[in-house]
């Protein structure tokens, strides 16, 4: 990521919207924006496969859930933030992953230009491919500034997406248990 080039481009944007990039409050804004991009889009520098530590599951074959994982992302259509919570469940198939790995995977994919549907599917697909569990379920609930601050301007609307594989997709009872458990803990 070329931070100097990003700062230069943001200085041009400030001029185009009618601002003076040399006024006191904006003098360092292009550099601050460029620097913030390192964190906001840091997911491009990471691979989910490198973040996943697997352990012997000691034959554990019940649902494992990590609920209320906070995330921030950026809408690829309007470059506006969206944010919310992710709930992930999986049923191991001989292997489990480290406790911090589910939030880390959310972080990797959310720190890219995204849409919520893709984010949801990427988390589920990655866990399914890397862990090969009996099933994965992911639910994402988010608020989108592109919908809140522009367009329809609905500040209280939220969007919910889900992606299920394996037992969560095939077995309604398993899916219902997951949904009940994440709702009870909110």
Positions marked catalytic: 75-78, 116, 144, 146
Backbone phi, then psi, for 158, in 5-degree steps?
-130, 160
Cα-Cα-Cα-Cα dihedral sign, residues 63, 175, 51, 72: negative
Q: Which one, of 69, 79, 68, lies nearest residue 144 by Cα?
A: 79
d(CA 65, CA 86): 11
Using DSSP, state whether 52 is helix, strand or coil.
coil
Adjacency order of strands within the sheet including 135-144:
113-114, 64-75, 81-91, 135-144, 159-166
End-to-end CA distance of the chain: 38
């Amino acid at each position: 990521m070329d931070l100097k080039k990003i700062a230069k481009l943001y200085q041009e944007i400030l001029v185009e919207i009618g601002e003076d990039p040399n006024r006191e409050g904006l003098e360092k804004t292009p550099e601050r924006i460029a620097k913030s991009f390192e964190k906001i889009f840091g997911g491009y520098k990471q691979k989910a496969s490198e973040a996943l530590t697997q352990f012997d599951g000691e034959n554990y074959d019940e649902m494992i859930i990590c609920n209320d994982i906070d995330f921030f992302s950026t809408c690829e259509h309007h470059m506006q933030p969206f944010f919310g919570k992710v709930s992930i469940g999986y049923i191991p198939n001989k292997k489990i992953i480290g406790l911090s790995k589910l939030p880390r995977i959310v972080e990797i994919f959310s720190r890219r230009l995204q849409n919520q549907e893709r984010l949801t599917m990427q988390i589920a697909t990655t866990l399914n491919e890397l862990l090969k569990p009996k099933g994965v379920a992911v639910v994402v609930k988010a608020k989108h500034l592109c919908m809140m601050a522009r367009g329809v301007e609905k500040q209280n609307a939220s969007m919910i997406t889900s992606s299920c594989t394996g037992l969560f997709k095939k077995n309604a009872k398993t899916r219902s248990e997951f949904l009940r458990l994440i709702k009870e803990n909110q």
